[in-house]
Amino acid sequence: MGQSSSSSGRRQSNSSSYPGQQRRAPPPPQQQQQQQQSRPPPRSSGVHPGTRATRQPGAYSTSGGRTPGQNGRRPDQQLYEVRIPAGVRGGQTFQVEINGNRVNVRCPDGMRSGQNLRISLPSQGNNNQPQRQAYMVTIPTGVSPGEQFRVMVNGQELMVTCPPNARPGTNVRIFPPEPAQNPSTPSGGAADRPQIQTFEVQVPAGVMPGQPFALIANGQRVLVTCPSTAGPGQRIRFQLPVGGGGGSGGTTQIQGVKLSYDKDGWTRCIDPSDQKFHWVLSQTDETTRRNSTESKEDDTKFDPLKYAIMRRINFNGNGRVPGQAEGNIMRHGVHMEVALATEVPSECIVERPKYGDHAAGGGNTGPLFTHADLARVHSGNFASKLEWFREACLKLRTPWEDEHSFIFVRRSHLMEDSVKSIMMLKTDQLRNMFRFEFIGEPGIDAGGVAREWFQLVSEQLFHPDFGLWQYSAVNQMCMQINANSGLANADHLLYFRFTGRVLGKALFDGQLVSAHMIRHLYKHLLGWPLMFEDIEMIDNEVYKSLLQMFEYQGDIEDLCLDFTVTEECMGETKVIELIDNGAEVDITNDNLKQFLEESLKYRVCERVKDQLRELLIGFYEVVPEALMLVFDFQEVELVMCGMPHIEMEDWLTHTEYMGAYETKKANHQVTSWFWEVVGEYDEELRARLLQFVTGTSGVPAQGFAYLQGNDGNIRKFCINSISVSSSLFPRAHTCFNRIDLPLYTSKQQLKDKLTLAVQMECTGFDID
């Protein structure tokens, strides 16, 4: 990469840049208008060094006149970010209030209301916060994982929970609660940071020693492990960070916590022992008591409604995505495995960026977002989540004056140049502001060139002819990873890493991509549990076959099956063993559970594990994984692909009816209510209804008349009647684009149940 000359502002090439490449770095958008006023008019002929005639494909990053050691601004200046008010146009002045002072701000030409603008003002003093003090303690003899033990730190007695997989003699790091603060403590001190609070709860009936249970503490769902020395009815204590700034001077208090279980389904909880999110299958008290008395023989039965797995990515060394930009593009030292959903914790901390004093404001040293922030945002509606996510990305973005990147590509070699440019950037440069340029074209990237680049690149990447992706066997509107992508492209893993970076950068910058992925891939992006029903969206025939095996009442050994699956590849049949020597292991009633579990792992992950690993790592190089926790998998599709344009008349015209609705069709009382309710929905709810019934928010370019089913044939949107006694809520059959709509007795009843069904299909955080 080249470096900027401090005297001329021109980029000087070195051994890693392109020969003869020399150009002046464009100023930040806020300064362009002022500089244009003093610029001489362009010449009508002649080529200056570094003009479009001499540019070569590639990418480089440069600073906007940053003085070394000053992070791009004077030490007595503070950077702020403000939003341009409604009605303000370029060149107009508006007022904002910062630190109690009214400031006049001029809207730069080319910017409009709703956009964010960075301004600098004299600093108000040093707001640096001291780091929280960490202490190492040794686990005493006789303490098992989940048990609590006492330690003394700075004269303060603390209760510490032994982490999982730890044993006596192991050193663990703890962060004691902050001492009481004087009311005169300045803002930005310890009083503003989360405090540690002790809670006390009674172990519920049916919970055995060492068994985790969920409860609500401080408005958050928390996963607590019952100590080995405790039992039902006994009271235990645990500690949890709570918001600072309030309370009673920072002293710990014991508060009663009401036990509250979820309905059946998966939900995320905070485990106080590691301060990470864990997936748990919620149970009622009755279910808990029943499970505690059930025989162990029941564990040999496969439960498609409760068994769930997750991918776990293990990075080398410090657990973060490495930041190389050369060599093997970071494939070494990173591997992915499949584990039970309950065994894979999710990071819930978003660290401050490298340029935190610019992007996040002030001199704060703590996390940018914690589990409390993520849980609070997740409980909001889609619009509030999206607004928060956009603001979070702005805080993580590298300011223009610190560093920005230019991407030069040839339209005739779009994919080749784009891969070369994006993959030569280091990880921390992926959050720079990008400026795209098609070499030889006069366009200036004020947003339009970037939109075109993301659209064109995503179209080519996901096109089946490119070999990386293929149409879903269930829904032709969705794309799934091609398991044989290596045959089409020897560098296919590099391209999947590139695809991950493109998807992550598009989401980070608020751009859209021209591809809808199959549902379980969005779950992988979010770190969601993958269940048996997810196979249906991948291959309906395989799903039905496995379901028949699960429901088989006889001796399954009579079917003469083994632990293998067959795959078609370039006209040849390959036999894949699901376990070691799987061809030699017959499926019996005793090991059927293992076969179904291994089949789930293979279909949703192992079959494309290498490609999936590269895709996820490339994505997380741009967007922190923890930041994605606020969305569900349906919302992520809407954010990445945009709200679909749904023509209600087209939808209504090309809908089929079954059962009691077949005769009167849209004129039946219930279907008439249905269309009235859908007509009252906003764009988000209509898109969610489409996702609920078809599996994706995408609409064919030709309209609803060309919706396809799992067999590739046209299967129009269909409404089928069922009785309310058979199901109180609507049911969806995504393979057939069909919704089973109960025969409701009122429009309000239909609206309540339908809205709840399309909004609550996803599970996630539980905040009571």
- Asked if the model's pLDDT at residue 186 lies above 50, the reply is no
**Model pLDDT for residues 319-345, shown as the tens digit of each residue:** 444 333 333 344 456 788 999 988 898
**Model pLDDT for residues 472-489, shown as the tens digit of each residue:** 877 777 899 999 999 988
Q: Which of 161, 138, 134 is nearest to 149 (CA)?
A: 161
Q: CB under 8 Å to 643, separation ≥6 — which residues? A: 683, 684, 687, 697
410: how many CB neighbours lie within 10 A of its CB?
16
Residue 27 and residue 736: Cα distance in Å, rounded? 54
Task: Kindly list the catalytic residues.
Answer: 735
CA distances from 476 to 142, 595, 608, 694 (A): 59, 29, 19, 11
DSSP 186-203: PTTSGGGSPEEEEEEEEP
- Asked if the model's pLDDT at residue 575 lies above 90, the reply is yes
CA distances from 30 to 10, 96, 228, 308, 404 (A): 20, 17, 62, 50, 14
Residue 457 and residue 594: Cα distance in Å, rounded? 41
Q: Which residue has the higher pLDDT, 757 or 456?
A: 456
pLDDT at 319: 40
Assign 607 a pLDDT band (cuts: 50, 70, 90): very high
Instruction: Give the distance between the most distant pair of CA atoms in the chain.
Output: 88
How large is the average pLDDT for residues 447-453? Answer: 82
How large is the average pLDDT for residues 703-732? Answer: 83
How large is the average pLDDT for residues 663-673? Answer: 94
How large is the average pLDDT for residues 117-146? Answer: 65
E strand segments, 381-498 = 404-409, 433-438, 469-471, 479-481
Residue 283 and residue 214: Cα distance in Å, rounded? 9
- Asked if the model's pLDDT at residue 184 lies above 60, the reply is no
**Model pLDDT for residues 249-274, shown as the tens digit of each residue:** 333 322 322 222 233 467 888 777 77
pLDDT at 203: 79
**Model pLDDT for residues 642-656, shown as the tens digit of each residue:** 888 888 999 999 999
Q: CB under 8 Å to 151, separation ≥6 — which residues? A: 137, 157, 158, 160, 174
pLDDT at 618: 95
Assign 316 a pLDDT band (cuts: 50, 70, 90): low
How large is the average pLDDT for residues 719-747? Answer: 90
- Asked if the model's pLDDT at residue 148 lies above 80, the reply is no
Residue 686 and residue 705: Cα distance in Å, rounded? 17
646: how many CB neighbours lie within 10 A of its CB?
18
End-to-end Cα spacing for the chain: 51
Residue 738 Cα to chain centre, angstroms: 29
265: how many CB neighbours lie within 10 A of its CB?
16
E strand segments, 303-419 = 308-314, 335-340, 404-409
Lowest-confidence pick of 162-171, 506-515, 621-630: 162-171
How large is the average pLDDT for residues 287-314? Answer: 65
Contact 215, 260 (CB under 8 A): yes
The chain-wide mean pLDDT, for the chain, equals 75
User: pTM of the predicted model, to two decimals?
Assistant: 0.64
**Model pLDDT for residues 366-376, shown as the tens digit of each residue:** 788 888 888 88
DSSP 61-96: EE-SSPPTTTTTS-TTEEEEEEEPPTT--TT-EEEE
pLDDT at 661: 95
pLDDT at 388: 93
Residue 325 and residue 591: Cα distance in Å, rounded? 46
**Model pLDDT for residues 537-565, shown as the tens digit of each residue:** 888 889 999 999 998 988 999 999 999 99
For residue 627, which amino acid is it? L
- Asked if the model's pLDDT at residue 641 lies above 60, the reply is yes
For helices 414-423 and 492-509, what crossing angle results, to 10°? 80
Hey, what are 271's tokens?
Answer: 């485990």
pLDDT at 197: 67
For residue 647, which amino acid is it? E
How large is the average pLDDT for residues 518-522? Answer: 92
**Model pLDDT for residues 73-95, shown as the tens digit of each residue:** 444 456 677 778 888 887 787 87
Contact 519, 762 (CB under 8 A): no
Residue 664 and residue 678: Cα distance in Å, rounded? 19
- Asked if the model's pLDDT at residue 709 lies above 80, the reply is no
**Model pLDDT for residues 208-231, shown as the tens digit of each residue:** 777 777 666 665 666 677 777 777
DSSP state of 699: -
Contact 347, 369 (CB under 8 A): no
